[in-house]
């Protein structure tokens, strides 16, 4: 996976402007956040159309007012255990920029929780956890006023982390 | 009044490129010796528009260059110069140079100045080549100062009375610019009549209320004077009078006042149309639908010219739709069960109008294939002289309409195929004569509609393909084994393999062995197919089938487990239910079945796409959809057929990426997404090797 990200040669993290807000949501009890300006909309979970032979964390595609948008499961991207989707499960549609083009992707999270101001949190850089824990799309860690930790996601890296269909499958066929 | 001229540049470039196309095709049709004045006029007008536009927008080098061309064309137009092959060739090359210059100006790139200089010198050489011509020497700085032979009395100058109509400036013309042009012609004295200026409280700053008396003390041709007013003759009162040597202006002949132009002037005035020059007549029917281009506009996005009738029918259709909609909403406000028939009727109407509207909108994107074909006369002309072959190009069905995207993408593959026909197909005149064929070879380009597809045929009467030669070639290149058995058709298809070139001598025309595989790939990407028919010694015919549009597809909806997929109807041959005795196991694993007299591999869709939900396992309980792609057939095993729909193709790549075996997605009636199968990809995914013959990976 890491190799894929390097191959795609993506521009370095964009620095968030001062005074921005973050939408936070929970996955497996932890709080994650993403720049609110990147959030297009939040939808309740509805079954999606599976993409054959795609990576597990790609749940499928949905119809966003005529556009075909892929949906990634953040739990699976973080290699957490699978849980059944509930009434609280939502899909956050996020705008990501990749090589001059803007894409939309959906990210399945357990529940949305809050909107926080940047002034209310203290951002520190993301520590490295070594190879076995996926951190490539976590831009930084932040501490909220209440003392809870919020992991801020780098939206632009989400689709790369949930890389497109695994190439190995059909290369074997050739 | 300052206008940001840059916003019109895009329009200027588009018009200029169109003008160049007109010039090019006109020049190609021009028969040395026989002058068709209308044709030469069309070329001249195109050159003139480019020159004018370039001058207005400050592309001095372009206008200067075009001016020289125009001078030459003008002499041809007036019959003062014979049309020679040499002159036409030089003009054609100049068109190329001009195109380079325009492209460079558009992209802000560098012009190959040496090339431009050579070509200008060449043009001047042609201009000077006529000793009978009087003083064409001063080409570089202005007009050729030919004395008009038309009038008997010596004319020493011109007296022009120019009274612009009030709206002149709103048409984008500037009187000052016109007056400046006079100065270029020679010694000019101008007096201005300010009597037309109204009282201050009535004054409209955008009105032209001045008029001018212009005395040009130079014996130029009348057309040169008229030319200055070409763009404004409908928007002013104009009198051009000769000044004779006797200094007796009494017998002045009012000439071009109120030129009899059929243009509907009042209608044109009301539109804030910024057209700089009259479009050539053949384009009058078109209406401009271009937006003012943004500075960073992607040039490839371009614009479409749409015929007014098409727009009209769209507007009608929308009107109908609005009426139906209001009828339905009225019905809904106070709905009663008695109204059900009305409701159904209304819905039926809505459906009909929606469909018609959809068709009309599609029509807007349709363009005649002549946009692609128009480049071939030039190509054939250039190549045949390079190859020393005599070749005649026939084009049939140029008005066949195709989607704009198809037009854009089919161009290069077609060029390649035509080149191949010229280079490999048509023989040298001596060879042809020896074979008892006419010396002049014929290449026919034919486009027509057939069953929802557009078919393009490239047919030549050349030497045809030699299947055995191709086969041996492939063997010698290590692409095939000697004991492979191929049908004649399969041997022909060898030319589509990568790294396969039969040209004994590699020329710059063809023979590098890259191309035919790319041609096939491009055509497949458009959802089309390519076939070869050939007979040794008689000729080759290449048939390309393309979908009419890339936006909509006829699809068969199939079910696999709990998932639905769309199979493009064009790929489907038939759908059958197999009986146990039809099924064979090849090598204990690969499943095949016998359909009439051929064995086809079975591709289990649930395996290929790894469907986990409950699905039909037993071949006899599901259905086999027999599909064909790239000349290979197979049976797709699905659970059920659900129905046929026209589906709108949506891109998966826009937000996601390419998926093997899937060409796109669509949205079904219930709002859910269904994937459209790419049959070639599915076959590749399945690794179906049971084909009797399979080309080594070419796609």
What's the number of CA atoms in the CB half-sphere (13 Å) around residue B506?
6
Instruction: Tell me the mean pLDDT in the region B531-552.
Output: 82
Q: Where are the domains of chain B?
A: 6-140, 155-259, 306-366, 369-547, 552-686
Distance from CA of A157 to the nearest CA of B (A): 13
Count Cβ atoms below 10 Å from residue B287 Cβ, excluding itself. 14
Per-residue pLDDT reduced to its tens digit, A106-126: 999 998 988 888 877 787 776
- Nearest Cβ partner for A53 among B610, B651, B655: B610
Q: Provide the whole-model pTM.
A: 0.50
Q: Which residue of A has its CA nearest to B676?
A: A51
Instruction: Tell me the mean pLDDT in the region B524-531.
Output: 79
CA angle B377, B380, B384 (to 5 degrees): 145
Contact indicator for B233, B257 with CB cutoff of 8 Å: no
From residue A18, alpha-carbon distances to A15, A34, A126, A143, B145 in Å are: 9, 14, 18, 16, 70
Contact indicator for B583, B589 with CB cutoff of 8 Å: no
CA distance linking residue B648 with residue B676, whole number of Å: 10
B675 touches chain A (CB under 8 A): yes
Contact indicator for B249, B263 with CB cutoff of 8 Å: no
Of B118, B93, B16, B119, nearest in space to B59 by CA:
B16
The confidence score (pLDDT) of residue B622 equals 87
Q: Which residue of A has its CA nearest to B561?
A: A50
Share of residues in chain B with pLDDT > 70 (%): 81
From residue A128, alpha-carbon distances to A74, A149, A157, B13, B245 in Å are: 19, 16, 16, 54, 96
Instruction: Tell me the mean pLDDT in the region A59-79.
Output: 87
The confidence score (pLDDT) of residue B300 equals 45
Contact indicator for B177, B170 with CB cutoff of 8 Å: no
CA distance linking residue B63 with residue B330, whole number of Å: 61
Distance from CA of A124 to the nearest CA of B (A): 31
Contact indicator for B425, B437 with CB cutoff of 8 Å: no
Contact indicator for B104, B110 with CB cutoff of 8 Å: yes
Fold type of domain B6-140: 1.20.120
Secondary element (H or E) of residue B398: none
The confidence score (pLDDT) of residue B3 equals 57
- Alpha-carbon dihedral sign for residues B206, B207, B209, B213: positive
Residues 115-144, chain B, touching A (beta carbon < 8 A): none
B559 touches chain A (CB under 8 A): no
Identify the three-state secondary structure at position B405. Answer: helix
The confidence score (pLDDT) of residue B626 equals 92
Please say if the pLDDT value at position A91 is more than 90. Answer: yes
Q: Which residue has the higher pLDDT, B495 or A18?
A: B495
Contact indicator for B416, B519 with CB cutoff of 8 Å: yes
Evaluate whether the domain defined by B155-259 bears CATH number 1.20.1300.
no
Please say if the pLDDT value at position B153 is more than 80. Answer: no
Is A68–B673 a contact, with Cβ atoms under 8 angstroms apart? yes
Is B673–A105 a contact, with Cβ atoms under 8 angstroms apart? no
Count Cβ atoms below 10 Å from residue B129 Cβ, excluding itself. 13
Is A70–B656 a contact, with Cβ atoms under 8 angstroms apart? yes
B-chain residues near A4 (CB < 8 A): none
Distance from CA of B423 to the nearest CA of A (A): 35
ipTM score: 0.77
Contact indicator for B43, B28 with CB cutoff of 8 Å: no
Is A52–B659 a contact, with Cβ atoms under 8 angstroms apart? yes
The confidence score (pLDDT) of residue A90 equals 92
pLDDT, mean over chain B:
76
Architecture per CATH, B369-547:
2-Layer Sandwich (3.30)
Question: Which numeric CATH code is attached to B552-686?
Answer: 2.30.30.40
Please say if the pLDDT value at position A77 is more than 60. Answer: yes
Is A52–B684 a contact, with Cβ atoms under 8 angstroms apart? no
Q: Which residue of B has its CA nearest to A98?
A: B655
- Catalytic positions of B, please? 48, 70, 420
Going by their DSSP bridges, the two strands A39-44 and A90-98 should be labelled as antiparallel
Going by their DSSP bridges, the two strands B662-667 and B401-403 should be labelled as unpaired
Please give the domain boundaries of chain A with CATH numbers for all domains. 2-7+19-162 (2.40.50.180)
């Amino acid at each position: 996976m890491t190799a894929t990200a390097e191959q795609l040669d993506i521009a370095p993290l964009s620095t968030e402007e001062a005074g921005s807000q973050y939408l936070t949501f929970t996955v497996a009890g932890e709080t994650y956040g993403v720049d609110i300006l990147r959030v297009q909309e939040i939808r309740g979970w509805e079954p999606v159309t599976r993409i054959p032979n795609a990576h597990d964390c790609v749940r499928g595609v949905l119809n966003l007012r005529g556009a075909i948008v892929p949906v990634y499961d953040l739990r699976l991207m973080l290699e957490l255990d699978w849980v059944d989707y509930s009434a609280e499960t939502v899909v956050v549609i996020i705008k990501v920029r990749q090589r001059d083009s803007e894409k939309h992707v959906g990210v399945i999270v357990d529940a949305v929780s809050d909107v926080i101001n940047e002034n209310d949190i203290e951002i520190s850089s993301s520590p490295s956890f070594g190879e076995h824990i996926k951190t490539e799309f976590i831009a930084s860690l932040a501490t909220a006023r209440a003392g809870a930790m919020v992991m801020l996601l780098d939206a632009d890296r989400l689709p790369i982390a949930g890389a497109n269909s695994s190439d190995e499958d059909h290369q074997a066929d050739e | 009044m300052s206008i940001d001229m840059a916003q019109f540049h895009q329009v200027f470039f588009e018009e200029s490129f169109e003008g160049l196309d007109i010039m090019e095709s006109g020049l190609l049709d021009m028969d040395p010796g026989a002058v068709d004045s209308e044709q030469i006029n069309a070329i001249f007008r195109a050159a003139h528009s480019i020159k004018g536009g370039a001058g207005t927008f400050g592309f001095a080098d372009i206008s200067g260059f075009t001016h020289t061309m125009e001078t030459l064309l003008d002499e041809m137009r007036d019959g003062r110069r014979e049309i020679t092959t040499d002159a036409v060739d030089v003009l054609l090359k100049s068109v190329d140079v001009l195109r380079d210059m325009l492209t460079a100006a558009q992209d802000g790139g560098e012009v190959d100045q040496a090339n431009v200089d050579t070509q200008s010198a060449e043009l001047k050489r042609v201009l000077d080549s006529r000793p009978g011509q009087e003083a064409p020497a001063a080409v570089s700085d202005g007009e050729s100062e030919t004395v008009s032979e038309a009038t008997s009395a010596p004319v020493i100058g011109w007296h022009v009375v120019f009274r612009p109509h009030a709206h002149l400036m709103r048409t984008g013309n500037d009187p000052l610019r016109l007056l400046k042009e006079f100065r270029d012609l020679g010694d000019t004295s101008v007096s201005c009549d300010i009597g037309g200026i109204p009282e201050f409280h009535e004054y409209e700053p955008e009105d032209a209320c001045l008029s001018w008396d212009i005395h040009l003390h130079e014996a130029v041709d009348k057309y040169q004077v008229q030319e200055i007013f070409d763009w404004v003759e409908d928007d002013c009162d104009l009198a051009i009078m000769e000044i004779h040597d006797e200094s007796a202006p009494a017998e002045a002949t009012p000439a071009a006042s109120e030129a009899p132009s059929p243009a509907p002037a009042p209608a044109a005035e009301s539109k804030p149309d910024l057209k700089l020059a009259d479009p050539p007549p053949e384009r009058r029917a078109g209406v401009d639908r271009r937006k003012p281009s943004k500075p960073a506009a992607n040039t490839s996005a371009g614009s479409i010219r749409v015929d007014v009738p098409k727009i009209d029918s769209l507007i009608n259709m929308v009107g109908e739709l609005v009426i139906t909609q209001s009828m339905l909403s009225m019905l809904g406000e106070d709905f009663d069960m008695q109204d059900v028939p009305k409701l159904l009727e209304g819905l039926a109407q809505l459906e009909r109008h929606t469909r018609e509207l959809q068709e009309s909108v599609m029509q807007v994107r349709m363009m005649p294939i002549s946009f692609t074909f128009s480049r071939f006369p030039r190509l054939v002309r250039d190549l045949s002289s390079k190859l020393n072959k005599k070749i005649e190009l026939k084009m049939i069905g140029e008005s066949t309409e195709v989607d704009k995207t198809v037009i854009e993408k089919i161009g290069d593959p077609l060029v390649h195929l035509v080149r191949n026909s010229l280079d490999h197909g048509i023989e040298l005149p001596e060879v042809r004569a020896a074979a008892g064929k006419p010396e002049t070879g014929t290449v026919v380009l034919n486009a027509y509609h057939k069953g929802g597809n557009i078919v393009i045929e490239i047919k030549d009467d050349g030497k045809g393909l030699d299947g055995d030669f191709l086969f041996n070639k492939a063997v010698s290149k290590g692409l095939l084994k000697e004991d492979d058995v191929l049908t004649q058709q399969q041997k022909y298809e060898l030319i589509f393999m990568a790294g396969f070139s039969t040209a004994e001598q590699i020329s710059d025309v063809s023979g590098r062995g890259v191309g035919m595989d790319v041609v096939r790939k491009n055509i497949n990407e458009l959802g089309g197919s390519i076939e070869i028919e050939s007979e040794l010694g008689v000729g080759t015919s290449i048939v390309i089938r393309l979908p009419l549009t890339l936006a909509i597809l006829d699809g068969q909806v199939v079910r696999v487990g709990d998932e639905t997929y769309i199979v493009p109807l064009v790929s489907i041959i038939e759908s059958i239910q197999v009986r146990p005795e039809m099924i064979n196991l090849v090598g204990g694993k690969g499943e095949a079945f016998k359909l009439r007299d051929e064995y086809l591999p079975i591709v289990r869709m649930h395996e290929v796409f790894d469907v986990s939900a409950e699905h039909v396992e037993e071949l006899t309980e599901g259905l086999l959809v027999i599909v064909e792609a790239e000349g290979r057939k197979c049976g797709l095993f699905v659970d059920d057929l659900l129905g046929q729909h026209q589906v709108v193709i949506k891109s998966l790549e826009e937000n996601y990426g390419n998926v093997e075996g899937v060409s796109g997605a669509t949205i079904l009636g219930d709002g859910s997404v269904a994937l459209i199968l790419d049959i070639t990809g599915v076959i590749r995914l399945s690794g179906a090797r049971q084909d009797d013959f399979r080309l080594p990976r070419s796609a």
